[in-house]
Structure 1
Amino acid sequence: MSTATQNHIGRKISRIRELRDMKQEVLATALGVSQQTISNIENSEIIEEETLEKIAEVLGVSAKAIQNFNEETVLNIISNSFTSNDSSTINAINVQPTFNPIDKLIETYGEKEKLYERLLQAEKEKIAYLEKLIK
């Protein structure tokens, strides 16, 4: 991150908002302003302290956190806090289903059988209807 980007409060707000999976419209509504105002704020390098406090409150962080936000630090925290329960692989996701696969297989066969029976019944009805039309 360049020095200009590191001190650009608007970009930091934008990035934190994106990390929170929040759209500009949602932030605007929470602050009682237009989406265009949020866009202008995110393009501003400097923001009034009062506005920054309001935005920080809506984003669920402190104004100081916004001012000190550094994306590299965030990525380092994420990568250093990821743990794998599977010791045989590094940084792999260990999936342990909370259901019995055999039960699921039996359930699937039961559903397949019911579908087959409904299809067979529909065919029988179709044949009966065609025989009725012929007579």
Structure 2
Amino acid sequence: MNTETAPKKVHQGRNIKRLREMLGIKQESLAFDLGVTQSTVSDYEQKEQLEEKVLEKVSTALKVPVEAIKNMNEEATVNYINTFNDKVENSFLLNNNPINCNFNPIDKIVELYTEKEELYKQMLKDKDILIEKLSKK
């Protein structure tokens, strides 16, 4: 049998785990949303095939289509991650121009603080000069 043309078997439990991790959701949180225990979610993630009812509940909780759980494979995961990274990189564009900060925000804060300090010193000098002038009158 030619392994290149044979369809790869999809492990639905592993797909749930991948999607859950990509979305940054812990097993405990998913279990809470499903109304089951964390160990039940762990059991789901170990099973190759899950009941349609379970798939529907999990897909609703993860806010992904049931087909994503049923059909996701390694290649689809890589494509999803690459698409996500492209969207993140493109979100840093403003009118198709990249937003490049050419200063360090910390340096800017230090600069502003130093400027404030200098202004305060100047105000104290001005106050002393004014008091001196007023005391001479």
Q: TM-score, normalised by structure 1?
A: 0.60
Query: Where do 1:55-74 residues align within 5 Å?
Result: 55-74=58-77
1:26 to 26, 29, 35: 29
Could you tell me which residue of structure 1 aligns to residue 111 of structure 2? 109
The alignment of Structure 1 onto Structure 2 pairs a total of residues equal to 103
Secondary structure, in 3 states, of the residue corresponding to 1:96?
coil
Distance 1:112 1:11, change over 3 A: same
Could you tell me which residue of structure 1 aligns to residue 53 of structure 2? 50
RMSD: 3.4
Could you tell me which residue of structure 2 aligns to residue 96 of structure 1? 100
Cα drift, residue 70 of structure 1: 1.8
Distance 1:4 1:26, change over 3 A: farther
Q: TM-score, normalised by structure 2?
A: 0.59
Q: Percent identity?
A: 38
Cα drift, residue 79 of structure 1: 3.4
Note the residue ranges of structure 2 that are not aligned, 5 or more in a row.
Answer: 1-5, 91-97, 118-137
Query: Where do 1:3-18 residues align within 5 Å?
Result: 6-18=9-21
Cα drift, residue 71 of structure 1: 2.9
Cα distance between partner residues in 2 of 1:62 and 1:42:
17
